[in-house]
Structure 1
């Protein structure tokens, strides 16, 4: 880890920083998307996230209790008092550590050049909790990339980072303004592109899941834009056997991604 430019770490014996310290005030601005976009930095809080983010950390703030509880994570950390850490954290009971990290999303072509077998695309998804949860599920299912397409939530939003439970740091994160460009690029790279659509004509049980697959997921309330769903190779619905009207985004994404993961696992074992 290295400190932010022109913000040297505290000298031994110096008082911990407070919520009014210039470095803390500057870091707190990263709670706003505009500041994250302009600086290429974001906040990560808690020991698990800090551990996963180690390669991307520029500065780590830690309370004395945080240092005592996690000495393996806090070498070179900047001491901060509880009120200062509370100003940086967005949780009710922060765990003593908040890091300033560099953003690290990759271009679409670079992510696809790695030939992932499974990709999740979040098209216009604006809820950070849903986005982070889908990212976590995609990681668990073995996806190599998660693409935030169109007017989607910032993957470095604090709630999205927390909901990803560290998975933000395990997969290629791509941000692309044009979701139709994403679909074309995926198809040009040999992917079958499937739109998760509650009204789709193809059942998940019959969906073409063999080979490299990309799933398109839309918003919780409105799903995918019709034109984008039509651009996919198939519009796929998850069969509902009970009386539930539908599945929420995170649940539907988990079912779809794991259906693909099962088929890909079978294919890999047969090679």
Structure 2
């Protein structure tokens, strides 16, 4: 029990290479997309009865199952109100090289993101927009922290998430591979709606409070502003990233050339 609850701490996760996955939705996606990484699954009898499809999938995948009481599960959980099941999983070994080996078209690089909810939201938005990977610089919040994992709602297991990167070195490597880097900046003269986003590119986002440092923005191919049409002063990082990613996704599926007669 203590060995599981200790995974709420970053130092322990780093030492053991394991992390917590809490709640039926996240556990379902973990088993569906990354079953070989599951070490153990702890669940209450009630949760097993309520989510029989997860239990069946776990058995089919050969996952070690442990039936525990609600009190024991609560002692292991990081969440204030655990939902009946917790998995322990091995952290993936994705790297920048492994991502680039698959000729990605759409990436997002986050520099020193500190808020767990924002990071989880960006991972979820990147998944929904069909991005090829999320890249995270060092000095950022741990992508495998329990709150981040919960806020991704399972998207953490749908696409590569590469952590601990040197942001400047990553921008240089992306350029070497022919991937355009786009820095978001409120004062930029180029608007998001003016860009042609059909080529391979990577959105580069800064911290929630200070934005992207000039030393990094200057190394990107373009500085891009998200237009604000109302009275809002700005957008938070997660909102900005989701807008940019969806704009990129739309550019990939939008028809090129004249619309045929009779088309809506």
Change (3 A) 1:110 1:269: farther
**Tell me, what secondary structure is at the counterpart of 2:202?**
strand
Change (3 A) 1:27 1:180: same
Q: In the aligned structure 1, how far is the partner of 2:217 from the partner of 2:240?
A: 16
Query: Comparing 258-267 with 145-154, which one deviates more in the overlay?
Result: 258-267
Q: How many residue pairs get matched?
A: 247
Equivalent pair of 1:105/1:175 in contact (CA under 8 Å): no
Aligned to 2:69: 81
**Tell me, what secondary structure is at the counterpart of 2:252?**
helix
Aligned to 2:29: 52
Equivalent pair of 2:45/2:68 in contact (CA under 8 Å): yes
Aligned to 1:186: 174
Over the aligned positions, Cα root-mean-square deviation in angstroms equals 1.7
Q: Report the CA distance between 1:107 and its aligned residue.
A: 1.1
Q: Report the CA distance between 1:225 and its aligned residue.
A: 1.3
Q: CA offsets per residue over residues 58-112 of structure 1, 9 Å max, x none?
A: 1000111111112232345201111111122222322110000010041111111
Work out whether 1:149 is the aligned partner of 2:137. Answer: yes
Equivalent pair of 1:123/1:224 in contact (CA under 8 Å): yes
Q: In the aligned structure 1, how far is the partner of 2:17 from the partner of 2:79?
A: 22
Q: TM-score, normalised by structure 2?
A: 0.89
Q: Report the CA distance between 1:230 and its aligned residue.
A: 1.1
**Tell me, what secondary structure is at the counterpart of 2:168?**
helix
Aligned to 2:90: 102
Equivalent pair of 2:21/2:146 in contact (CA under 8 Å): yes
Q: Report the CA distance between 1:267 and its aligned residue.
A: 6.7
Change (3 A) 1:201 1:140: same
Change (3 A) 1:80 1:153: same
Q: In the aligned structure 1, how far is the partner of 2:134 from the partner of 2:257?
A: 25
**Tell me, what secondary structure is at the counterpart of 1:72?**
helix
Gaps of 5+ in 2: 259-264
Q: In the aligned structure 2, how far is the partner of 1:259 from the partner of 1:163?
A: 22
Work out whether 1:28 is the aligned partner of 2:5. Answer: yes
Equivalent pair of 1:61/1:99 in contact (CA under 8 Å): yes
Aligned to 2:220: 232
Q: 1:209 aligns with which of 197, 201, 206?
A: 197
Aligned to 2:261: none
Q: CA offsets per residue over residues 139-196 of structure 1, 9 Å max, x none?
A: 1111010001131111101111111111100111112331011101111111110011
Q: In the aligned structure 2, how far is the partner of 1:89 from the partner of 1:264?
A: 41
Q: CA offsets per residue over residues 22-74 of structure 1, 9 Å max, x none?
A: xx110111000000011000000111111111112110001111111122323
Gaps of 5+ in 1: 1-23
Equivalent pair of 2:113/2:140 in contact (CA under 8 Å): yes
Q: In the aligned structure 1, how far is the partner of 2:186 from the partner of 2:239?
A: 12
Aligned to 1:3: none
Alignment of 1:164-179 (within 5 A): 164-179=152-167
**Tell me, what secondary structure is at the counterpart of 1:185?**
helix
Q: 1:119 aligns with which of 99, 104, 107?
A: 107
